[in-house]
Amino acid sequence: MLVGHIPPTDRHGSALGVAMADTDGTVGADSARGFHKADMRGNGALPGDIHDMAGTAAALADLNLMVDSMPIGVIVLDAELRAEVVNRAFYDFWKIDPRRAPAGSRFRDLMEASREADPFGGEEHAWQSHVAEREAEIRAGAAGSRQLPRKDGRTLIASLAPLPGGKRLISYVDITDMKQRETEAEDARRNLAAVLESLPAGVIIYDRDDRFVFANRKLQDTLPALKPAWQPGRTFREALALGHSVGYFRSSGDAEIDGLYGVDTERWLDAMLERYRLPNSSYERLNPDGRWYQVYDMRTDDGTFIGVRVDITDIKAREKALRDSMRQIDLYRHVMDELPVAAFIKADDLSIEFVNKAWCALTGFAKDEVFGKTDRELFATEEADGFSNDDTEVVTTGLGREVEEAVTHRDGTVRQLMTRKSRLVATDGSVHLVGSSTDITDVKAREQALKQSMSENEVFRSLIDNVPVSIYAKRSDLRQFYVNKGWCDLTGFSKEEAVGKTDVEIFGADGEAFVAGDLAVLRTGETQEIEETVTMPDGSVRHQFARKGAMIASDGSLYLIGSTTDITELKQREAELSEAQRRAVLADRAKSEFLANMSHEIRTPMNGVLGMAELLAKSDLDPKQKTFTDIIVKSGNALLTIINDILDFSKIDAGQMVLDPAPFNLAEAIEDVATLVSTRAKEKDLELIVRIQPGLDGQFVGDVGRVRQIVTNLLGNAVKFTDEGHVLVDVTGERVPAGTRLTISVTDTGIGIPEEKLKLVFEKFSQVDTSSTRRHEGTGLGLAITSRLVEMMGGEIGVDSAEGKGSTFWFTVTLPRAEQGGQRIMPVDVTGARVLVVDDNAVNRSILSEQMASWTFDSCAAESGAEGLRVLIAAAAYGVPVDCVVLDYQMPGMTGAEMARIVRNTAGLAHTPIIMLTSVDQSLANTTYRDLGIDAQLIKPARSSILLETLVATIQRHRHSSAVAQPAVGNSLPQAAPAQASASERAMLQPPPVRTRPRPTDAERGLDILVAEDNEVNQLVFTQILGETGYRFEIVGNGRKALDAFGRLNPRMILMDVSMPEMNGLEATGAIRRLEEDMGTHVPIVGVTAHALKGDRERCLEAGMDDYLPKPISPRALLEKLERWLGSDVETRRNAG
């Protein structure tokens, strides 16, 4: 039933469409409800001087909004039963469109509009009678309330209140949910009572005022005399007094309280009540009928008393029987005074509805882990099947069960339980399974221990009797009480002749020495081990090993335990083995010396054969003879390599290898090896890369020849087993007290090594697999020699590899530092010189950039010739031209030669110095070298020392010539591309326009990207890449400027360099995040780091950054970051976090 609606107010505060118009044309409301009354002109009608405030349209609008927001349906009817006021809840309760029953409608019309929701709206006559009855009730005006059912099953309470002037206020409240909760609470109470009645234990409950609440039938049957005191309203004290009068509670388990029982009844009652007020208590009680009960009492947080009484008479009897059966065994005994009861309830589908704490302790599960789950979801299949089968039978038949069963705790321990189960049918007809379990693990274990102990005694006695060792035991008086068969066989005496006698009585005078030794053992408690020689009666000599010690038994008795073993044959075998080992060592040494000598003898004629073959190859030979000669040279060199390996390994094996330490330059040694191997690498089109840790000491003391040999072997293997990709030599070091701990690793992208072969690679004559020996030459001694050399240097060697994914061989050695010849000082005029690295290989770019940074150059890296040209043009356009270009010759797309040619033909770039990096077979012809204007050419991998010297010389030479040619010329932009260039080349080579960014107006304020970068070259790279995206961006030079720009320009995204002067990127990010906490926003910040290492990424994220971007900056990677954080639409709304 509904009666009206209060629509929202307009912005001037007037009520729109509210049925509050009186018959005289004024707008008013009942003063008792807080409405004012005014005419349409706004003249006040309230008494006093407050009509100006009360008559405002704003006050009326606030009141309307308040009533309309109430969750209670409200209508106000005038004397003619027309709706003056109605709120939105009315329409929602009765599902009426406000337009169908607008303000001012009659109450009858409003009821007609709600007819579809009213259960009386079906039959016309009944409906009219219902409407008339409701109108009569309202006109009568008697205050009161009634329930109104709705057709959809929900129930409303309608309350009527008379108002002055014949008006009526009716309010509606939806009580459907409240009624449902009341029903559910009543069902829960009945179910709980049923559960308590079904438990196999007595339960008693008193409220916080110690007044009786509940006692289940189990307890009433146990203590029937107390039934008169277990009635509503009766107190705990009354029940105790009644029990005392009939002889109950005589044995409470507390001697002090029991002493008051027959002496002072009032004090006994006070003591018992005080005990029952404890939070928890547990004790055993003997009832007058002679049965024992375990009593569990507790007080809940709200003061409710709950008592549980468990009959433990049978358990007590079992404990007594167990003690009687095990009284002759010295084992752990314990009588359990409390037996915790695990209780559980399951639904008819065997899903768990309730478990108590004892059940959780037995199983290891928490309550919230098991509710709604079945045993099959919690326990192993075999256990769960047993539980479920028993449960199903109980639920199906209704017959209770008592079974012994095992349950596995989630920590793996197994507990034995005595479980009782029964079926419970609740008042609502639902079927439940109620059960309780008692832990009987200790009882079962003791029974099993007794059986096992008896069995083990028999086994041990049989075992000792049959071992081929003489074993005996003596009491503290040194009389034998046990000897085994071995003792009898050794001495020739039987057990009957020995037991109960001393050694003197058995062996005569010879036994006195045995007695003296036994007394020493018993006196000191120390075990004696003696190896002795005994001459037998037949004259033979036997070697024996005797061992004897003291032992204290569990009853405190002192015993001596001894054994004697005949070791004659063992001593003979030890002598033979020692002689054989001596001969083997001599033979092995002789073999190694023979191999070493023979290798030397073979090398001499082999050198002659190879020398003559090489001379012969240089003479005039026909093609067939030339082929034969080449085969002789190749085969001879292969044979000589094998001989050298055998010679080295023989020297090491024979102990003839001696290290020759001397000062040497580590970087030069590594680069020498790389230069030697570079030809083989180029033949397979492999990138050979050398990285020396910047800042690493140059001079060390060690055997440089053996270091070269180790690196040569590892590097040669890497090239041999790699068909495509690259090979990287990485040298790092850390200072230690003994010098520098060097780590040299060789990483390839080759075939890799199967996991099962990794442990064999350093064994002599070892190959990865048999097929590789056919494809790749070698003796299998290389890595074995390498491993032994590293061991001789006191280092370690290892390998990390995965089949098909390449390998990394590494070794570590600690070498003392040699006296340094002085650190290379960079000339002042080239420090900070701008160097552009152009190389398509990412590893090469990273290493070259690292070297430039360590040499204090300001460097930038490009991954292609086209990108390098854009950087050169941009740098020149902004007045920071590049001082030198380090250019890779072999690149896809635009080669190094093609880029150099474009540079030389572009005004403003033509005089830029170029250092070309080429492979050994890519030496530039003199004409090409001259035509391209190449300043220097270096063979890859370029030695760091040579590269540095070449860079310094080239930059100095260029700056000197520029100063002479243009002594007073400042920065200028490069000229346009030559006219003869194609349109596409001209477009690519034109410098980008220099645009000034006007200060944005308030309407235009807002920036897409803010870049914080202090490096000028990197600023140009960002300018080139971002300039082609269409985003609005601005670049600042440090973190402090970034913080200022953030507040002024409100960017959508920030690219933040981590290392900057004044305020670094991490500090700037923290400051921005603190500002955002007050602003309620979150701008994505991407950290720009020099190395994308794990530690750098974590530092960025911990500082509050959202992502990171490694240097050197890749256009593709940068665009991916923009796409991720800004999306494809430039106008996308910024995420406010």
Tens digits of residue pLDDT in 969-980: 333 333 333 333
Model pLDDT, residue 592: 63
Listed in sequence order, the residues at least 6 apart from 375 whose beta carbon sits closer than 8 Å to its beta carbon are 350, 383, 384, 387, 388, 391
Model pLDDT, residue 950: 85
Q: Is the pLDDT of residue 340 over 70?
A: no
- Give the C-alpha separation, 321 to 406, whole Å: 22
Q: Residue 185: inside a domain, yes or no?
A: no
Q: Residue 993: inside a domain, yes or no?
A: no
Distances (CA, A) of 514 to 156, 495, 508: 106, 18, 11
Q: Is the pLDDT of residue 30 over 90?
A: no
CATH number at residue 629: 1.10.287.130
**What stretches of 101-154 adopt beta strand conformation (E)?**
144-149
Q: Residue 187: inside a domain, yes or no?
A: no
Listed in sequence order, the residues at least 6 apart from 592 whose beta carbon sits closer than 8 Å to its beta carbon are 650, 653, 654
Distance of alpha carbon 346 from the chain centroid: 36
Output b/e per residue, 493-513; b: 16+ Cβ within 10 A. beeeebeeebbeebbeeebee
User: Is 567 in contact with 545 (CB distance < 8 Å)?
Assistant: yes
Whether residues 726 and 804 fall in one domain = yes
Count how many domains the chain has. 8
pTM of the model: 0.32
CATH number at residue 856: 3.40.50.2300
Given 648, 674, 709, which residue is the final one in a domain? 648
Q: Is the pLDDT of residue 367 over 50?
A: yes
The token pair at 927 is 């004409």
Do strands 341-347 and 305-311 pair parallel, antiparallel, or not at all (unpaired)? Answer: unpaired
CATH number at residue 325: 3.30.450.20
Q: Residue 45: inside a domain, yes or no?
A: yes
Model pLDDT, residue 1006: 64
User: Is 493 in contact with 504 (CB distance < 8 Å)?
Assistant: no
- Give the C-alpha separation, 363 to 714, whole Å: 58
Q: Residue 303: inside a domain, yes or no?
A: yes
CATH number at residue 779: 3.30.565.10
Whether residues 620 and 494 fall in one domain = no
User: What is the pLDDT averaged over residues 550-564?
Assistant: 85
The token pair at 375 is 């045993």
Least confident stretch, 255-269, 465-479, 1074-1088: 465-479
**What stretches of 506-665 adopt beta strand conformation (E)?**
528-535, 541-552, 558-566, 662-665
Whether residues 923 and 1043 fall in one domain = no
The token pair at 1047 is 């507040």
Q: Is the pLDDT of residue 5 over 80?
A: no
Q: Is the pLDDT of residue 899 over 80?
A: yes
Listed in sequence order, the residues at least 6 apart from 835 whose beta carbon sits closer than 8 Å to its beta carbon are 852, 857, 858, 859, 860, 882, 883, 884, 885, 886, 951
Model pLDDT, residue 918: 83
- Give the C-alpha separation, 664 to 355, whole Å: 77
Greater pLDDT, 408 or 568: 408
Please write the tens of the pLDDT for every residue from 143-192: 778 888 877 778 888 888 898 988 888 888 888 888 878 787 777 777 77
Whether residues 492 and 513 fall in one domain = yes
Given 311, 336, 358, which residue is the final one in a domain? 311
Determine if the peptide bond prior to 663 is cis (ω within 30°). no
Do strands 739-748 and 807-815 pair parallel, antiparallel, or not at all (unpaired)? Answer: antiparallel
- Give the C-alpha separation, 173 to 429, whole Å: 33
Confidence of residue 25 (pLDDT cuts 50, 70, 90): very low
Listed in sequence order, the residues at least 6 apart from 177 whose beta carbon sits closer than 8 Å to its beta carbon are none
Q: Residue 1: inside a domain, yes or no?
A: no
User: Is 386 in contact with 405 (CB distance < 8 Å)?
Assistant: yes
- Give the C-alpha separation, 594 to 432, whole Å: 90
The token pair at 605 is 């004629």
Listed in sequence order, the residues at least 6 apart from 1099 whose beta carbon sits closer than 8 Å to its beta carbon are 1058, 1066
Whether residues 335 and 268 fall in one domain = no
- Give the C-alpha separation, 436 to 545, whole Å: 61
Task: Please state the φ and ψ torsions of residue 907, each to the nearest 5 degrees.
Answer: -60, 140
Listed in sequence order, the residues at least 6 apart from 875 whose beta carbon sits closer than 8 Å to its beta carbon are 834, 836, 881, 882, 1017, 1020
- Give the C-alpha separation, 620 to 720, whole Å: 34
The token pair at 231 is 């009635």
Whether residues 665 and 619 fall in one domain = no
Task: Please state the φ and ψ torsions of residue 1134, each to the nearest 5 degrees.
Answer: -65, 140
Q: Residue 113: inside a domain, yes or no?
A: yes
User: Is 690 in contact with 729 (CB distance < 8 Å)?
Assistant: yes
User: Is 219 in contact with 202 (CB distance < 8 Å)?
Assistant: yes
SS in 3 state form for 598-626?
Answer: HHHHHHHHHHHHHHHHHHHHCCCCCHHHH
Distances (CA, A) of 58 to 36, 331, 431: 12, 91, 62
Please write the tens of the pLDDT for every residue from 76-108: 889 888 988 888 888 888 888 888 888 788 888
Model pLDDT, residue 668: 84
Given 518, 539, 566, which residue is the final one in a domain? 566
Greater pLDDT, 49 or 345: 345
Taking Cα atoms as reference points, which of 598, 591, 593, 653 lies closest to residue 781?
653
Whether residues 694 and 804 fall in one domain = yes
- Which element (helix H / strand E) includes 504? helix 503-507
User: What is the pLDDT averaged over residues 1027-1038?
Assistant: 88
Q: What is the DSSP letter of 808?
A: E
Do strands 1051-1057 and 1007-1012 pair parallel, antiparallel, or not at all (unpaired)? Answer: parallel
Model pLDDT, residue 57: 67
Share of the chain above pLDDT 70, in %: 79
Greater pLDDT, 618 or 580: 580
Whether residues 716 and 785 fall in one domain = yes
Whether residues 637 and 526 fall in one domain = no
- Give the C-alpha separation, 1027 to 113, whole Å: 67
- Among 115-119, 120-124, 719-723, top mean pLDDT goes to 719-723
User: Is 236 in contact with 209 (CB distance < 8 Å)?
Assistant: no
DSSP string, 896-951: HHHHHHHHHTSTTTTT--EEEEE-TT-PPPHHHHHHHT-SEEEESSPPHHHHHHHH
Taking Cα atoms as reference points, which of 340, 342, 249 lies closest to residue 296?
340
- Give the C-alpha separation, 725 to 128, whole Å: 94
- Among 47-56, 775-784, 1015-1024, 1099-1108, top mean pLDDT goes to 1099-1108
The token pair at 290 is 């002679």
Q: What is the DSSP letter of 882?
A: -
Give the torsion sign (CA, 901, 902, 905, 910): negative
Listed in sequence order, the residues at least 6 apart from 59 whose beta carbon sits closer than 8 Å to its beta carbon are 36, 53
Please write the tens of the pLDDT for every residue from 672-726: 788 778 878 888 888 888 899 988 888 999 988 889 889 988 998 999 899 999 9
Please write the tens of the pLDDT for every residue from 279-331: 898 888 888 778 888 888 899 998 999 989 888 888 888 877 767 766 554 45
User: What is the pLDDT averaged over residues 1090-1103?
Assistant: 67
Model pLDDT, residue 4: 36
Model pLDDT, residue 1116: 79
Please write the tens of the pLDDT for every residue from 34-61: 333 333 333 333 344 444 544 566 776 7
Q: Residue 1077: inside a domain, yes or no?
A: yes
In the beta sheet, which residues pair with residue 1109?
A: 1088
Helix axes 704-720, 666-683, angle to 10 degrees: 20
Model pLDDT, residue 211: 93
User: What residue numbers bound the domain in which 1053 lies?
Assistant: 1002-1126
Q: Is the pLDDT of residue 954 over 50?
A: yes
Whether residues 218 and 334 fall in one domain = no
Whether residues 89 and 133 fall in one domain = yes
Model pLDDT, residue 746: 95
Least confident stretch, 125-134, 363-372, 1012-1021: 1012-1021
Greater pLDDT, 666 or 540: 666
User: Is 230 in contact with 239 (CB distance < 8 Å)?
Assistant: yes
Please write the tens of the pLDDT for every residue from 595-652: 656 655 665 566 556 666 766 776 788 777 777 787 777 677 667 666 766 666 666 7
Distances (CA, A) of 714 to 142, 684, 689: 106, 17, 14
- Give the C-alpha separation, 1040 to 1038, whole Å: 6
Mean of pLDDT over the chain: 78
Give the torsion sign (CA, 828, 834, 837, 843): positive
Share of the chain above pLDDT 90, in %: 19
Q: Is the pLDDT of residue 382 over 50?
A: yes
Place of tokens 């024979």: 654
Radius of gyration of the chain (CA): 51
Listed in sequence order, the residues at least 6 apart from 711 whose beta carbon sits closer than 8 Å to its beta carbon are 669, 670, 673, 729, 744, 746
Listed in sequence order, the residues at least 6 apart from 308 whose beta carbon sits closer than 8 Å to its beta carbon are 201, 202, 203, 295, 296, 297, 341
Output b/e per residue, 998-1027; b: 16+ Cβ within 10 A. eeeeeeeeebbbbbbbbbbbbbbbbbbbbe
Whether residues 688 and 610 fall in one domain = no
The token pair at 314 is 């049978």
